[in-house]
A and B are shown apart, each in its own frame.
Chain A
């Protein structure tokens, strides 16, 4: 099989380029894209990419596989190829490339940091823990599962054009995770940080984020909830 990989080593290359490899695949087995990269790495030790858990938990191997963002470790080759005969692997789009498939996620994390991703509560702490009813806990389903792989934000055109000012789907999903948490008392302060024309409102509902999230989460819906909360507060 032909595999084409984006290569760039800023110390040695003037420009990024696509490198073609030919790979003999083991018969009768559907590999994951990460396995393919591992086989390539045996051929060519200079190939760089991030991975850790190799089971869709850590979020470190987000990349663009045949034009679609996803986690290499849980994307079966058959699904990535979808009838085509060759595999094309590029880094996640829109952020600076450190080397090959490794991108600099600073802007992504800065946006995450901006939404204060931790519980804020100004009431005195109870003796043991802050309790939550099962119903309130259920409101966090579909939000807390995010592994910050950045597949969504780097597929979002609004994030490509304004990564310093638009929080992006991943950050906004987490913003809503804390807005929806019954134990968090900073709702008004959180909303006040989000009502400018960029942070939330740059979302144009394109839903690329929903389309690629490897955890099946729905940032667009969370953004809609934030917008309703902002509207309710402001009118």
Chain B
């Protein structure tokens, strides 16, 4: 069997499932936000922060960012292991992407908690 430590879960079945489930969550979140924007009579900061003051929107948003991080990592990991044959380059790119995703995650938590 082929072993991997840098794949998201290290297991092909789990990675595959996470990628699909996270895609559904991201799609749902996108549709939700789009509809909310379209239904809004007038765009304002109050309406925006009011939306995120609701508990379930916070949960949904955090679920979406977690899905985003997982989904992006599985995709990027696949692409880097396909195309970056030089180990140093591959590990560097992978670490950079992990750092960026980590920053996104923390910033989102911070933003949602701040409301």
Contact = CB atoms under 8 A, between A and B. Distances in A.
Whether chains A and B associate is: yes
Contacts of B10: 197
Given A193-B1, A196-B4, A162 B82 contact: yes
Interface centre among B11, B12, B81 (most CB of A within 10 A): B12
Contact of B12 (A158, A161, A162, A197): A197
B16 interface: yes
B12 to A, nearest CB: 4
A49 interface: no
B81 A162 contact: yes
Contact of A230 (B1, B4, B13): B13
A201 B78 CA distance: 10
Nearest to A191: B13
Interface string B1-38: 11110010011111111000000000000000000000
Interface in A214-235: 227, 230-231, 234-235
Nearest to B8: A197
> How extensive is the interface on chain B, given as a class?
10 to 19
Chain A interface mostly helix, strand, loop or mixed?
loop
B83 interface: yes
B2 A198 contact: yes
Interface string A170-190: 000000000000000000000
Given A196-B1, A201-B12, 18 more contacts: A161-B83, A193-B1, A194-B1, A194-B12, A195-B1, A195-B13, A196-B4, A196-B12, A197-B15, A198-B2, A198-B12, A199-B1, A199-B12, A201-B13, A227-B13, A227-B16, A230-B12, A234-B11
Interface of A: 158, 161-162, 165, 192-202, 227, 230-231, 234-235
